[in-house]
Amino acid sequence: MKPLSRIAFVINTGKSGAPELAADLLQIAEKEGVTTLVNAQFPLANGYLKGCDACCVIGGDGTLLGVAAEAAREQVPIIGVNRGSLGFLTTYSAEEARQHFKGILAGSYRLAYRSLLTCSAGCECSEYALNDVVVKDEVNSRLVRLEVFAGDELVTQYVCDGLIFSTPTGSTAYNLSAGGPLIHPEADVIAMTPICPHTLSNRSIIFRPDVRLRVFNRTPRAKVQVSVDGQRTVVPCTDGPLEIGLCAGRLPLIQRADYSHFSVVRTKLGWSGAMNAQTGADI
């Protein structure tokens, strides 16, 4: 792959060991003659990553989500180094980052492209979501009535605590906690999962990639809150729908050449159990 000659570092200084790890990686970059930018603030401003070959995010998945929109706009790949807890997106450990960083700078990595949602609320500009778009009551204290259309076709009217619209990447986040499906990150789909639906038969729905979803608030005398990746809030117009679809562009992520999605899932979710190859019995 392409060698990296100009890298932005985004460091969550509130994470244990993040500043020290950043110092080590910056030292490696400087020895290799790489130009660096350093920032401890996120989300990033528009244009911050312009001209960069990559962005090294040192923190947790939340830190990476704060960088994703700008990285997607500029098509700058992200190197995610985990100093948080779960770390589905920040796939390099501190030890792996120190061990492999020189090789990454030289082009020893692979690129994975993750789909993004676009979300617009009538009078507001579009927002990118790497994980999800969540629609809830403004004060999170009562049921909402939300009517969903797929294109011009009515899906149904939900009475629930809210709706989660998730990318495959976000399927391991809020969607999973709400009972939604795990989706392979290379699948081009949108998952819609109701939160505590009043009708027990309401379950997740998987939509094709070219669908345009529209959500209407049918709750009398109530406002809804729309959150993007749990970090940004969109204020919907009172007389128009929330529109959600897959973005034409994707977010590039830098991963190890031997990266395995299911290995990460097994590790992060604590899956266990093995089968005897001869008998098929549990070990």
Number of structural domains in the chain: 2
pLDDT in tens, 108-150: 999 999 999 999 987 667 899 999 999 999 887 789 999 999 9
Task: Indicate if 95 and 176 belong to the same structural domain.
Answer: no
What is the domain extent for residue 196?
A: 116-248
pLDDT of residue 238: 63
- Decide: 205 and 188 in contact? Cβ < 8 Å: no
Asked whether residue 237 falls in the same domain as residue 167, the answer is: yes
Residue 281, domain member (yes or no): no
- For residues 60 and 128, state if they share a domain: no
Q: Where are the alpha helices (DSSP H) in the chain?
A: 18-31, 61-74, 94-106, 174-177, 261-269
- The residues carrying an active-site annotation are 61
Whether the per-residue pLDDT at 207 is higher than 50: the answer is yes
Same domain (yes/no): 103, 53: yes
Q: What are phi and psi of 157, to 5 degrees?
A: -110, 120
pTM given for the model: 0.90
Residue 274 within a domain: no
Does residue 278 lie within any of the structural domains? no
Residues 264 and 206 in one domain: no
Residue type, 83: R
DSSP state of 157: E
- Tell me the Ramachandran region of residue 179: left when phi exceeds 0, alpha when psi lies from -120 to 50, beta otherwise: left
Identify whether 275 is part of a domain. Answer: no
For residue 178, being part of any structural domain is answered with: yes
Domain-embedded: residue 201: yes
* Residue 25 forms part of a structural domain: yes
Burial of 20 (0-12, 13-18, 19+ CB in 10 A): exposed
